[in-house]
């Protein structure tokens, strides 16, 4: 079993590498070789299997072909530029988030039968846009409000068509907003969802720019890695023609996040959250999905968190060296 | 007002040209020049305005730019290869139905502000696929079951994003199955929907390969041209971020088609329909949409037919020289 990870240097990519090395198998078959690809050379962890680290930009024509030379059985395609950057640089967004994926699909198609790898593609809830019901069903249309969401929605369509035609065995997973993200605060509009947990747990003040009633859709980094692994092992016959799935996240309001923080870390942590309303951020977040009915993914065995307490405990366990969660 | 029609040599394109010359205006502005483009040189009707006929393939890089040299105010993009051909020739389908449209959008973007033409794009109900409810709502997901449907769904997403970014003023319209199509019987799986009306009206036998209970979604060629003209004149501020619309067709079963034929043309016409079940065609058609709730398009002023009798009378009037319908 050979595994290729494109976008291996990112937060989720690095955790996926660790998880793959820990378990050592996919679908009962031993992982014998791992190729890690990103635009910067991914770091190579200690392991007793062959690991290649490759700096490559798949949005350049011809690069995708080179990544398939040893015919990986499973490909995780996590590479993307984020929403803000795709909005700021229109051409770069389409080149990396659309053309890069299309080059990969075409390279796989051109290898030809019987090569038909499992391709796990990370999509996003950004494929959804106006008009949004309070709970979004598995059959709701995609009318993205960003170029990033547009690019992800297009790649989902390509993945489904290339799979239907038998060129690839694709599974697309729409990730919830990942929380609690480790690391420094950033300027992403969604940053506060992690910040109001992460900073107080480290004794730092965190700014909260929106009302406590704001509701959104979350999964931990650990759950995200779980989704990727499950997507790699899924019996794709169960997917029929529908290759893309909304992952089961957890719907929580900011108020529920804060209540969970109080239960897990006490009132002193909560006291570090400072409300500083920011209308710009409030307006952006108002257009975001609040909750999904992810029945289809659940029925296929994908498992997310069931409480925000659990999401906080996972952060404490995985990032702060706390007790197992 | 300068108008460009890409795909002007097709059945709908030719009727659109005639309709534009008849009315002479779009949104109250006189049509001064008309450019007709297709892969074969479109025929040029007699008219007292400047008409250019151009043989060009927009799926070749650089061609789209040449079509914009006189900065058309309204562009109708009807060019596509049909479902069967896109399925038979994967690369050609993506090149013509996806890349051609993307080249056009990019060429428009590269002209740059303040150029922002109205682009009317013909999409298709082929963007819908499994699972299909009996009546498909305006917010139902796109999970096409053909490469053609995939290409149309992708172009819808691009049209919406390029419009949102202000590069173009796009309106995408999902056409119903067009009936009654003039001309010879063809081998399209949907051919019988027109054939069972057209052939009996000309005294010819028609084969019916499916059960009378099969239900589908129709508009006349005249209604299709009406949709295109209305899309060209629509106040796009009313569309908000949702640039693509399911057109209001008419849901009718084969049995209802036949009853309409009997009302319009009598039992002798109906007697020319010969039932010859074809399981292959029945299986294909079973996966097709049956009916839509096209409320959004209706509320925006798009008008389709309300009975199959009307669709038959339009065919008799427009193609057989019968009384006005």
For position A48, what pLDDT does the model report? 92
Between the alpha carbon of residue A51 and those of residues A8, A21, A47, B152, the distances in Å are: 12, 10, 8, 41
For position B130, what pLDDT does the model report? 83
Least confident window among A229-238, B223-232, B263-272, B280-289: B280-289
Residue B128 is classified by DSSP as -
Same domain, A110 and A204: no
pLDDT tens across A11-50, in order? 999 999 999 999 999 999 999 999 999 999 999 999 999 9
Give domain status of residue B312, yes or no.
no
Asked if the model's pLDDT at residue A186 lies above 80, the reply is no
Contact A241 B147 (CB under 8 A): no
Instruction: Say whether residue B158 is in contact with chain A using an 8 A CB cutoff.
Output: yes
Asked if the model's pLDDT at residue A224 lies above 90, the reply is yes
Number of structural domains chain A divides into: 2
Q: Which of A131, A154, A242 sits opposite B157 (nearest CB)?
A: A154
Same domain, A229 and A82: yes
Best A143, A242, A293 residue to mutate vs chain B (most B CBs within 10 Å)? A143
Give domain status of residue B306, yes or no.
no
Alpha helix stretches (DSSP H) within chain B: 11-23, 63-67, 83-88, 90-93, 100-111, 147-164, 191-201, 221-233, 254-265, 267-270, 279-286, 295-299, 308-319
Same domain, A91 and A149: yes
Give domain status of residue A295, yes or no.
no
pLDDT tens across B267-282, in order? 999 999 999 999 999 9
Give domain status of residue B64, yes or no.
yes
Same domain, A89 and A229: yes
Q: How many residues does chain A have?
A: 325
Same domain, A74 and A134: yes
The single residue of B103, B115, B148, B315 carrying the catalytic annotation is B148
ipTM above 0.90, yes or no: yes
Instruction: Say whether residue A295 is in contact with chain B using an 8 A CB cutoff.
Output: no
CB A218, CB A305: distance < 8 Å = yes
For position A28, what pLDDT does the model report? 97
Instruction: Say whether residue A160 is in contact with chain B using an 8 A CB cutoff.
Output: yes
For position A125, what pLDDT does the model report? 95
Owner of token pair 């990519």: A13
Asked if the model's pLDDT at residue B10 lies above 90, the reply is yes
Radius of gyration of chain A (CA): 19
Owner of token pair 């199509």: B181
For position A184, what pLDDT does the model report? 87
Best A93, A99, A131, A150 residue to mutate vs chain B (most B CBs within 10 Å)? A150
Same domain, A141 and A225: yes
Mean of pLDDT values over A235-248: 95
Same domain, A99 and A40: yes
Q: What is the least distance, in Å, from the CA of B96 to any CA of chain A?
A: 15
Q: Domain with B118 in it: what CATH number?
A: 3.40.50.720
Percent of chain A surpassing pLDDT 70 = 100
Give domain status of residue A181, yes or no.
no
pLDDT tens across A69-117, in order? 999 999 999 999 988 899 999 999 999 999 999 999 999 999 999 999 9
Cα(A29)–Cα(A9) distance, rounded to whole angstroms?
25
For position B240, what pLDDT does the model report? 87
For position B293, what pLDDT does the model report? 97
Instruction: Say whether residue A142 is in contact with chain B using an 8 A CB cutoff.
Output: yes
pLDDT tens across B75-133, in order? 999 999 988 899 999 999 999 999 999 999 999 999 999 999 999 999 999 999 988 99
| Strongest mean pLDDT among A126-135, B185-194, B256-265 | B256-265
Give domain status of residue B126, yes or no.
yes
For position B5, what pLDDT does the model report? 98
Asked if the model's pLDDT at residue B67 lies above 80, the reply is yes
Mean of pLDDT values over B182-192: 86
For position B187, what pLDDT does the model report? 73
Banded model confidence at residue B325, pLDDT cuts 50, 70, 90:
confident
For position B144, what pLDDT does the model report? 95
Same domain, A255 and A283: yes
Q: What is the least distance, in Å, from the CA of B128 to any CA of chain A?
A: 10
Q: In what side-by-side order are the strands of the sheet with B177-178? A: B177-178, B215-219, B250-253
Nearest 5 degrees, angle CA B195-CA B198-CA B201? 135
Give domain status of residue A85, yes or no.
yes
Between the alpha carbon of residue A258 and those of residues A193, A305, A309, the distances in Å are: 10, 17, 10
For position A272, what pLDDT does the model report? 98
Same domain, A100 and A226: yes
Q: Which of residues 91-130 of B touch A (CB under 8 A)?
A: 129-130
Q: pLDDT averaged over chain B?
A: 96
For position B143, what pLDDT does the model report? 95
Contact B150 A160 (CB under 8 A): yes
Cα(B173)–Cα(A64) distance, rounded to whole angstroms?
35
Contact A130 B242 (CB under 8 A): yes
Same domain, A279 and A230: no
Best B110, B124, B150 residue to mutate vs chain A (most A CBs within 10 Å)? B150
Instruction: Say whether residue B145 is in contact with chain A using an 8 A CB cutoff.
Output: yes
Among B230, B241, B252, which residue's Cα sits nearest to residue B297? Answer: B230
Give domain status of residue B145, yes or no.
yes
Contact A139 B144 (CB under 8 A): no
Q: Which domain covers residue A132, as residue numbers?
A: 2-176+218-246
Spatial neighbors of B267 by CB under 8 A, at least 6 apart, are none
């Amino acid at each position: 079993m050979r595994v290729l990870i494109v976008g291996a240097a990112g937060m989720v990519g690095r955790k996926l590498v660790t998880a793959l090395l820990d378990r050592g198998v996919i679908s009962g078959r031993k992982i014998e070789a791992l190729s890690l690809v990103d635009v910067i050379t991914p770091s190579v962890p200690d392991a007793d299997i062959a690991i290649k680290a490759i700096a490559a930009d798949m949005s350049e024509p011809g690069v995708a072909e080179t990544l398939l030379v040893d015919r990986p059985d499973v490909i995780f395609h996590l590479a993307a530029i984020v929403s803000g950057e795709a909005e700021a640089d229109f051409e770069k967004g389409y080149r990396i988030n659309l053309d890069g994926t299309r080059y990969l699909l075409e390279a796989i198609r051109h290898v030809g039968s019987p090569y038909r790898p499992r391709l796990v593609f990370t999509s996003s809830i950004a494929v959804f846009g106006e008009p949004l019901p309070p709970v979004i069903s598995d059959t709701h249309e995609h009318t993205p409000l960003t170029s990033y969401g547009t690019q992800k929605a297009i790649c989902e369509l390509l993945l489904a068509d290339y799979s239907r035609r038998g060129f690839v065995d694709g599974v697309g997973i729409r990730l919830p907003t990942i929380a609690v993200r480790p690391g420094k605060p950033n300027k992403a509009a969604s940053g506060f969802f992690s910040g109001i947990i992460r900073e107080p747990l480290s004794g730092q003040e965190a700014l909260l720019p929106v009302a406590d009633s704001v509701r959104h859709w979350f999964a931990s980094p650990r759950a995200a890695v779980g989704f990727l692994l499950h997507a790699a092992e899924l019996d794709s016959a169960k997917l029929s023609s529908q290759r893309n799935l909304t992952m089961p996240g957890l719907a929580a309001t900011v108020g529920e996040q804060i209540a969970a923080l109080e239960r897990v870390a006490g009132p002193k942590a909560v006291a570090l959250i400072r409300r500083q309303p920011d209308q710009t951020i409030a307006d952006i977040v108002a257009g975001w999905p609040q909750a999904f009915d992810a029945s289809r993914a659940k029925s296929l065995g994908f498992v997310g968190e069931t409480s925000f307490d659990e999401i906080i405990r996972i952060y404490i366990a995985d990032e702060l060296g706390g007790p197992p969660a």
